[in-house]
Structure 1
Amino acid sequence: MTPRSGDDTSFLLFTLAGAGSRRTRQRARILRAILSMDGHFTVRDLLDTLAREGEAVSRPTVYRCVKLLANCGILTPVGYSEGTRQFELSRTDERHAHLACISCGAVTEVHSGEIEAAALAEARKGGFLPLDFTFEIRGLCPSCRRNSEGG
């Protein structure tokens, strides 16, 4: 994910407003920080990014905003890193699955249109109208698996 423009921040604030949430300066700061980050992140990563950028936003405000952004579908929760939930910016242009290690928290993206197509076809066959798609397989990454097997 590459840094994005102010237009993207405005669009996401508009999305929040459409969901009944206010557009505030602090939310704009948080969204700009998220847009500048690559890949998956934790709230701690977001707080560090805000601090590096000189943005004064309190920890409780960041946690509340991340929860709001996830509830509005702007962020997608993925995997855990050291017991802490990771997030990524939701993207309708590039859906993918995740392989999440329950030991070290590593998250690997799997790009397979076949997985999505099969899941969505099954949903539609039952008359279900899919609005979003997330797919995560939790287990042990190769490194943690080797460590757990003693070799």
Structure 2
Amino acid sequence: MGTRRGESAIRRASRFARIAALGLALALGSGCSPKTLGPPPERGAAQEGLASWYGAPYHGRQTASGEIYDQEALTAAHRALPFGTQVRVTNLKNGRSLVLRINDRGPFVAGRIVDVSRRAARELGFLGDGVAPVRLEVLGG
């Protein structure tokens, strides 16, 4: 009789472990961000606010889109625009402008509308300052 009770306890523990693993998989899967958020943005839609940049600590790491971050690529992070969206970012202090591709999520700091790659910040002229007032215009997907 002792053997049966032992087997029953093992079966119950195994069943519980499978149910827990399934629950965890469902919970984690539901928290993943989608590749796009909503319908494509309207061409010409614009925002003004602060841009910041990110570089070395993230270089070579995976972005929210699944791409590997390259600090020398002309890419940017935006909170809501679909991945692959082309945007024109213009530094309002010096008029420099670049076309960037959205491939990550962020920035997550109040008042900032876009995080750009290190190269983009250099070409836009705010690498040393860290942030700059910008206009972001949606060009399309």
Structure 2-normalised TM-score? 0.25
Per residue, is there more strand in 1 or in 2? 2
Structure 1-normalised TM-score? 0.24
Q: Which is higher, the Rg of structure 1 or of structure 2?
A: 2
